[in-house]
Structure formats: structure tokens, C-alpha cells
Structure 1
Amino acid sequence: MTHESGPETVKRVLASYEIGRKLKQLRLRKKIGLVDLGKHTGLSASMLSQLENGKMVPTLPTLARIAMVFDVGVDHFFADRRKKALFSVVRKGERMKFPDRPDAPAPAYHFECLAFSSQEKSLQAYLAEFQPMEAEKVTPHAHEGAEFIHVLEGSLGIYYIDEETVLEAGDSVYFDSGHSHGYRSLAKGAARAVVITTPPRL
């Protein structure tokens, strides 16, 4: 049996997956503009617009960049949305690691998503590595929901509103993430912790 494999055939097959529509759904769900998404992915807003409108066929590396930002697996763009995984395993070697702020010259921390392959979830878990820095360089932020942190290694300083609390290995904290908060390692090396946020966020 002979199968067509020309460019037009490949394009037609990819179009059937409606990758652009799925990309736009993810972006709108997270309430992110094309320009902001471009900053996180390193792709131009015009390219992202063409991808969403089906005017451009994305490469695998391009999809991987977008998938990392939205905390989904690349298979999200090829999956039948009617089939929802209720049991999702992420192996140690499959975790994706990226900085908290891709545009920052010296990110405060890096994190690895522990459940990126699950398409529907009410929380997000990360393995985070916080870097040592001076107190005045900590950049506070706030976001909707709540946050839970359990320190695995090192000494972690958490700024919450106007006060810094020190957590050692084995300590945990739960807080309303709608208030200003920030982190830093207080030791010479990095501090590592499991961070859980709800609702899932970027």
C-alpha cells in the first residue's frame, strides 16, 4: 500500500489536529496576550498569530516552547480532547526545567513541573531551586490563589508582605498568594523545595 507523504498531505494531516485552535484556547484561558506569550516563548507575536490562525505549520521545537510555558505536554496539541487522562505519571528524566522569568538576567529561581502532562488539573506542583541573593534584590510578586511550600534542602527565606520568615529543610508553609511574596536562598548554595500552587498558574 502506498501512502502520500508530500508537503500538502502533511499540512492537511496537521490541520486536522486544529493545533492553532488549541493554542488560542490555552492562551485565552490563561488570559495572556500575544506579545506577553512571545516574551515567554521567544517567538514573535506575528508568528504566534499565524500559528493560531492556521497560516503556519509549527515545528516540534516551537510546540515544545509553547507547551513549556502553558505547562502541558507536546501531546496536548495532538490529543483527542474527549479523552481525558485521570492518571498522569511524570518520570524524573521527563521533567522540564525553566526560570521563573525568562527575560530576567539572573532568575531568582528555576522550577521543574511535576505534573506537566496532565491536561486538566486543579493545582500545579513544582520542584523549585532558589538561588542565594541579597535581600534588596528579591522581587516580590502576587497572584490569585494559595501556595504551599515544603523545603527539601538548604535554608529558604520567604518574604510575605513586609516580613521575612526563614524555613529550614523539613519546614513547610501555606499562604494566600494574593499578597506580595518573594523567595531567596539564605545559604551559599541553592535551596530546593516542592511548591504547590492553586489554581494552576504560569
Structure 2
Amino acid sequence: MDLAQTIGQRIKSIRKARQMTLKQLSETTGLSPGFLSQFERGMTNIAIDSLNRIANALSVPLESLLKIASQDKGIDVIRSYERDSTLISPHVIQFMLNSQPERFAFLPRAFKLLPLPQKQKIELYSHEGQEFIYVLEGAVTVYLEDQSTILYPGDSLHIDSTKPHNWANLSSMPALILTVNSPNPFLFLDDLRQDVDEGQ
């Protein structure tokens, strides 16, 4: 993938994170929707002044689109607007905090927890390894076997993941937590893919 394609994909990701349409970006930058669409798909090049207009419209520094300095230093930075997000349940949104999670021994993620309906049953689960939880915003109830505790911003907890556990937002406001899992479950997925490829 060349630099223009990479920048185009980055712009599309930021635009969608901003919930901005191509038409809205066109009106702000003066560039046609057709041209913007082609550039996002890597089908055309762009002048630096036009790229600067896009950066201003998206409220991001021009260098964050180019990432030249980061690439030269070999630093893989994930900007807040670039994070992959997944709705893993009606009340939990997962944010990946690195671009290649299968490369590392531990897995850091952020979760936005929406308030649960009253009287919803909390199912506990267990898995191999350990889990670290740090609350960034809101109040989060953590369940561990037959016990529970409420964590507030700045609170943290380190648990043995082989014990039945879970966490939930029982408050009336959204919460945000950082979790770190070790070992990284993506490593096992990678091993499984390799076994399948080798016919094992």
C-alpha cells in the first residue's frame, strides 16, 4: 500500500469517527465529494494544500495524517480517532489499543460500559491468565466468585482470570475502563490459524 492509499484510509477513518459525511467534508474543504471519495479509496493523489484543508476540517494536525515522524522512528501510534471499536453486546463497546494485537504478550483494551437495565443477571466467566482493570470514568461493579466491589475513577484491580468473574455498569451514567489481559488471547488464535494451515 502506497502513502496516498494509507493517508486516504486514515482520512476515511477519522471522518467516520467524526460522523461526518463526504458531502459535509466537501462543503468544508471546497473539494468535490467525488474527488474525496476517490482519494479515500487510494485512486488519486492530492496536493499538500488540499490535504491541509482536509486536516483543518477534521480538526487534526496535518502531521497526524502523514505520520512521517512516527514512521521514521518505528513508533506505531494509535490515535484516539483511529481505534477500532466493536459493539460486543448492547451495553459494551470495545476499543482496541494497538494495531497488531497478535504481536504482543499482553492485550490492552478499553471498554465503554453503558448502564445495564435493572435486574439484569450478571453471568460470570473464567479463562486462562490474569486481568488488570483500571477505571477511567464512571463507576464499575466487579464480580469475583461470590464477592463484588465497586471501582471508581483511579481505582484498579488485578485478578486471577481462572476464577469466575465479570464487570458491569450498574450506575445511571456511562463508564470507561482500561483492561490488560495476559496471556494475550490473540496469540492462541494465531497458533490455531497456524495449526489449521499446517493441517494439524
What are the Cα deviations for residues 17-59 of structure 1, in whole angstroms up to 9, with x where unaligned?
xxxxxxxxxxxxxxxxxxxxxxxxxxxxxxxxxxxxxxxxxxx
Which of 119, 138, 162 is the aligned partner of 2:122?
Answer: 138
For 2:139, give the aligned amino acid.
S
How many aligned positions are there? 114
The residue that corresponds to 1:179 in the other structure is 163
More helix, by proportion: 2
Segments ≥4 residues shifted beyond 6 Å = none
In the alignment, is residue 125 of structure 1 matched against residue 97 of structure 2? no
Cα distance in 2 for partners of 1:95, 1:192 equals: 15
Cα distance in 1 for partners of 2:180, 2:119 equals: 24
TM-score, normalised relative to structure 2: 0.51
The residue that corresponds to 1:170 in the other structure is 154
Q: Structure 2 vs 1, CA of residues 118 and 158 (structure 1 numbering), >3 Å: closer, same or farther? A: closer
Which of 122, 133, 136 is the aligned partner of 1:152?
Answer: 136
Structure 1, unaligned runs of 5 or more: 1-85
Secondary structure of 2:132's aligned partner: strand
Cα distance in 2 for partners of 1:174, 1:115 equals: 21
Does structure 2 conserve the Cα–Cα contact (< 8 Å) formed by 1:88 and 1:118? no
User: Identity over the aligned pairs, expressed in percent?
Assistant: 27
Deviation (angstroms), 1:116: 2.9
Structure 2, unaligned runs of 5 or more: 1-73, 187-200
Q: Structure 2 vs 1, CA of residues 92 and 187 (structure 1 numbering), >3 Å: closer, same or farther? A: same
Larger Rg: 2
The residue that corresponds to 2:95 in the other structure is 112
TM-score, normalised relative to structure 1: 0.51
The residue that corresponds to 1:53 in the other structure is none
What are the Cα deviations for residues 149-196 of structure 1, in whole angstroms up to 9, with x where unaligned?
110111100011111111011100000111111111132021101111
Cα distance in 2 for partners of 1:164, 1:135 equals: 16
For 1:179, give the aligned amino acid.
K
Cα distance in 2 for partners of 1:111, 1:123 equals: 16
Which of 176, 180, 192 is the aligned partner of 1:192?
Answer: 176
Deviation (angstroms), 1:135: 5.5
